[in-house]
Amino acid sequence: MENGHAAPTRVLVLDDEPSIRLLCRVVFDLEGFEVVEAGSLAEARRALADAKLDVVVVDLNLRGERSDEFIAECHAHEPRIPVILVTGSVELGGDGAPTADAVLGKPFEMEELVALVREFAGATP
């Protein structure tokens, strides 16, 4: 609690597309969430280490990188952090598939993403 009010839900948005990060920031700000943006795995790893995160939204395919390992790092760092994977890839499933708490296929409706963040934020202590 800060100043008698609950701290806002802090959401990490990892996506290599600046327009997607901006859209998420605007929508999440309107919903009262605090947004931490990352455009690369390196930025996301810094945010994971530096910020108390409540929910992580991560794109599977980043420019030249995949976020599979980062999803595992999130759960290793703090097992309670829910991870929402957004992807246009059909390569999910099988051995070595990312173990996100939810998966949204691209394109998705922002209302779907907001509802998932809200649901997971309510489940965090």
The whole-number pLDDT of residue 1 equals 45
Q: Which domains does the chain have, with CATH numbers?
A: 10-123 (3.40.50.2300)
Distance CA(99)–CA(93), nearest Å, equals 9
How far the first Cα of the chain sits from its last, in Å, is 12
Whether omega for the bond prior to residue 82 falls within 30 degrees of 0, making it cis, is no
Q: Check whether 120 has a pLDDT greater than 70.
A: yes
Mean pLDDT of 110-122: 94
Residues in the chain: 125
The 10s digit of each residue's pLDDT in 54-109 is 999 999 888 888 888 899 999 999 988 999 999 877 555 555 556 889 999 888 89
